Amino acid sequence: MLSASMRPVIATTLAVALVLATSPALAAPTPAPATLTGTVFAGDVITPLAGATVVVTDAAGVKSASQPTGADGAFAIASLTPGPGALTLETKDGSFPVATPITLAPGATVGVRLALKAEGDTPEEKKKKKGGAGWTGGAIGAMTAVLVGFAAAAVLADDASKEESSVSPSTPADK
Model confidence over 77-100: pLDDT tens digits?
999 999 999 999 999 889 999 988
Residue 76's contacts (CB-CB under 8 Å, 6 or more residues apart) are: 35, 36, 37, 67
Yes or no: say if 138 and 120 are a contact pair by the CB < 8 Å rule.
no
- Distance (Å, whole) CA 15 – CA 21: 10
Q: Residue 106 — very low, low, confident or very high, per pLDDT cuts 50/70/90?
A: very high
pLDDT attached to residue 140: 44
**How far is C-alpha 110 from the chain's CA centre?**
8
Predicted model pTM: 0.62
Indicate the fold that domain 34-167 takes in CATH: Immunoglobulin-like (2.60.40)
